[in-house]
Amino acid sequence: MSGIWLLKKIVKNDAMKTDPKEIYGWRVFLLACSACFGAASFGWDSGVIGGVIKLDTFITDYKLGDTATVASANLQANIVSVLQAGCFVGALAAYPLADLWGRKWCLIYASMFTLAGVILQAAASGHLEPIYIGRFVAGLGVGASSVVNPIYVSENAPRAIRGLLTGMYQLFIVTGSLIAFWTNFGAELHLHGATKYIVPLSVQGLPALFLFSLMLICNESPRYLARKDQWEEAKNVLRRLRQLPDDHPYLQEEFREIADQLEQERRLMGDATFWSLQKEMWTVKTNRHRAILSIVLMVFQQLTGTNAINVYAPTIFNNLGIMGTSNSLLGTGVYGIVKVVSCSIFLLFMADSLGRRRSLLISAIGQSFCMFYIGIYVRVAPPQTGQPVPVAGYFALAFIFVFAAFFQFGWGPACWILVSEIPTARLRPLNVALAAATQWLFNFVVSRTLPVMLATLGYKGYGTYFIYGSFGVIMLIFVYFFIPETKGVSLEHMGELFGEEPVETKTVSEDSKPAATEISETHGSQRV
């Protein structure tokens, strides 16, 4: 009961005021956490690899050469970015597989790919080929999870806290990064020889193991089951999730809205095939608008440079004056703490209260300011080797942390929330797949180019920060003119924000859809 009271204090929207308190039970939170271990796999990998490639033992065993040269920067970039290449392929593959296998089993299979890739990386024994193959295979699993995870969570979540639960994807990314950062730091201090990098590379498989184990006891999405005409199972799952009796008005209304929207879509566009869905997405104006917004959001999310900074944080801290591998890894660990705390603040106090749109606006302003300041500092008064860091340098270091906080206040979690909630039900897998694939493509581009940018765009790469700051200004303009507010709006009514006619619950005859007012009691397999 105290948990419901706290939710009502934190989340401020109309749905929270009117919806029954029983729907905020432990099941939906466990489901969200279980699915989000797929996100933790990406965060953990990004945090681990950025520190591992800076370890002297790894550099020696894998013959990376002088890390100050462009050739070595290219080699490090190849090691890092091959994961993103696998993620891009996995994200595209997840679109048909999420409909073929279901959300639940797609996440389970994705975790198996991630585990296989981690094993290959840990067993590489000084050979780059297994590292490349392992990171690509792991990327297939991580990329597929990035598509299915937001879909699965948004389709199970109550509307009032959908932003909170879907945004947990980003929270698990930064939590995985945080644990990885401190794993690297501990390995640097307490391990010796090859175990310095073998242990961090091995333990990054833990999130995938948790994802595999927990998803086995979770239910399938009720909206997916309804799309597959498994109406009785969909009713039972929805009843268990909402913890309401069969005849409760809220339960009847939610199920009726699911049935009405699916019937309306089928009546308008017929049965779904790959080409019919493509036609529906790109020829229907409101659908095309939503698809383009999703793609552009993910492009801009990566052009902030945040994921590249996550990976290359030790290098960036060295460039800003923190010398020594241990010190830079310590700074990276603190950076991870800042990200987790700020993302938690966003999910608790901003996602479903302040809203997605205003969070993105505030986030863009803060990120731009931080990047411009860091760029000016490195250009005007760059740190010198062997010299103490000046006051302006400490401000620059602080702004790296502030930048991370502003990203988590908006562009980190809010993009995943928006791309999973704005599409129609049957276009949701395709829309999220396109958005996720775009995210991984530009993640690959940014991660691949950042080491070279830092080595070539002026002394200590000061031009890099000006570029990322300029993108922040463009993002601000884009959000102001094109992104609507979606907090508290049910998935079935999301189209009205983009000019669609309201979903009419009386337009479908009672004979053409399952009755939403008679939810029968069936005894299927027990699930959480």
pLDDT of residue 128: 87
pLDDT of residue 522: 39
Spatial CB neighbours of 123, under 8 Å, sequence gap ≥ 6: 130
Residue 282 has pLDDT above 70, yes or no: yes
Q: Which of 154, 157, 29, 142 is nearest to 420 (CA)?
A: 154
Mean pLDDT across 501-522: 46
Least confident of 130-139, 195-204, 253-262, 266-275: 266-275
pLDDT of residue 512: 41
Of residues 324 and 344, the one with the higher pLDDT is 344
pLDDT of residue 511: 43
Note whether 259 and 507 are within 8 A (CB).
Answer: no
Note whether 419 and 379 are within 8 A (CB).
Answer: no
- pLDDT digits over 41-52, tens only? 888 887 788 778
Report the distance separating Cα 262 and Cα 424, nearest Å.
9
- For 5-55, list the strands marked E by DSSP: none
Least confident of 61-75, 168-182, 232-246: 61-75
Residue 268 has pLDDT above 70, yes or no: no
Mean pLDDT across 145-153: 88
- pLDDT digits over 193-204, tens only? 888 889 988 998
- pLDDT digits over 363-372, tens only? 999 999 988 9
Q: For a pLDDT cut of 90, what percent of the chain falls above it?
A: 20
Note whether 269 and 276 are within 8 A (CB).
Answer: yes
pLDDT of residue 59: 85
Q: pLDDT band for 214, please (50, 70, 90 cuts).
A: very high
DSSP character string of 106-158: HHHHHHHHHHHHHHHHHT-TT-HHHHHHHHHHHHHHHHHHHHHHHHHHHHHS-
Give whichever of 8-17, 260-269, 420-429 has the largest mean pLDDT: 420-429
- The interaxial angle of helices 70-100 and 103-122, nearest 10 deg, is 150
First to last CA, the chain: 20
> What does the mean pLDDT of the chain come to?
81
DSSP character string of 224-283: HHHHTT-HHHHHHHHHHHHT--TT-HHHHHHHHHHHHHHHHHHHHH-S--HHHHHHHHHH
- Find the angle CA(27)-CA(30)-CA(31) to the nearest 5 degrees: 85
- Find the angle CA(227)-CA(228)-CA(232) to the nearest 5 degrees: 95
Report the distance separating Cα 130 and Cα 142, nearest Å.
18
Report the distance separating Cα 223 and Cα 258, nearest Å.
7
Note whether 219 and 479 are within 8 A (CB).
Answer: no
Least confident of 217-231, 256-270, 284-298: 256-270
What is the pTM assigned to this prediction?
0.75
Residue 521 has pLDDT above 50, yes or no: no
- pLDDT digits over 430-486, tens only? 888 888 889 888 888 887 777 778 777 877 777 888 998 999 999 999 999 998 888
| Burial classification of residue 520, based on how many CB atoms lie within 10 Å of its CB (0-12 exposed, 13-18 middle, 19 or more buried) | exposed
User: Any idea which residue has 């704005």 for tokens?
Assistant: 422
Residue 519 has pLDDT above 60, yes or no: no
Encoded amino acid at 522, one letter: T
Find how far residue 292's CA is from the centre of its chain: 18
pLDDT of residue 296: 94
Mean pLDDT across 22-47: 86
- pLDDT digits over 80-129, tens only? 888 888 988 998 898 888 888 899 999 999 999 999 999 999 998 888 89
Note whether 117 and 110 are within 8 A (CB).
Answer: no
Residue 34 has pLDDT above 90, yes or no: yes
